[in-house]
Amino acid sequence: MKNYSLISILASIGMSFAMASVAMEMPETNSKSSQIQRIEQPIPLKIGVAVGGLALIGAQLWWFLISKPKSGQAATNNGVQEVSITVDGGYIPSQVTVKRGQPVRLKFLRRDPNSCLDKVLFPEFHIAQDLVLNETTPVEFTPETVGNYEFSCGMGMFKGAIAVEE
């Protein structure tokens, strides 16, 4: 999953550069082949193409890094399913898969000073946990029922989910 995302990102960046350079060189190639006169591209157009290419790269980074929820698999430690979640502009990973009937420990490391993220709520598990900045705070519960359980910041602006499987 992680490797796949990285390859996708690299491929996208490569494609963006290729497209940007083709877009920049095409007018020149045309004017050379016509052999009549060389049309110098206005600088604003070149800047526009460069900015457009960068915007494209940014859009693709966004698509791969942010828009797709990152998934985390729990590692079992002394019978407890542990997952580390970094709180920084949201929850990373925001999707966690665990097994039913086994204790879960989510270790929230809060890196984001935004007061919006100073609490994490698990409504189905009746948990409202304060998160201290730059510290790891464990949240523990045992999911007894298969399903998808959302968690969020205090105001519900940032969200994640725990998928409980058989």
CB nearer to Cu ion: give 20 or 120: 120
**In one letter, which amino acid is 74?**
A
Q: What is the largest CA-CA distance in the chain?
A: 78
Q: Which runs of E-coded beta strand occur in the chain?
A: 71-73, 75-77, 80-87, 91-92, 95-99, 104-110, 119-122, 127-130, 136-141, 147-153, 159-165
Neighbours of 112 (CB within 10 A): 19
Are β-strands 119-122 and 80-87 bridged in parallel, bridged antiparallel, or unpaired? Answer: unpaired
CB nearer to Cu ion: give 16 or 152: 152
CA 7 to chain centre: 15
- Given the rule CB under 5 A, which of 33-41, 80-88, 89-97, 148-156 is the region that contacts Cu ion? 148-156
- Given the rule CB under 5 A, which of 13-21, 66-74, 87-95, 154-162 is the region that contacts Cu ion? 154-162
Min CB(155)–Cu ion separation in Å = 4
> Taking CB under 5 A as the rule, does residue 153 contact Cu ion?
yes
Q: Tokens standing for 109?
A: 């490391």
CA–CA distance from 137 to each of 54, 83, 96, 131 (Å)? Answer: 38, 12, 17, 6
Min CB(157)–Cu ion separation in Å = 4
Min CB(127)–Cu ion separation in Å = 16
> Taking CB under 5 A as the rule, does residue 155 contact Cu ion?
yes
> Taking CB under 5 A as the rule, does residue 131 contact Cu ion?
no
- Given the rule CB under 5 A, which of 38-46, 96-104, 109-117, 120-128 is the region that contacts Cu ion? 109-117
What whole-number distance in Å separates Cα of residue 85 and Cα of residue 90? 10
Min CB(159)–Cu ion separation in Å = 10
Min CB(90)–Cu ion separation in Å = 10
> Taking CB under 5 A as the rule, does residue 104 contact Cu ion?
no
> Taking CB under 5 A as the rule, does residue 128 contact Cu ion?
no
Interface residue list for Cu ion (CB under 5 A) = 116, 153, 155, 157
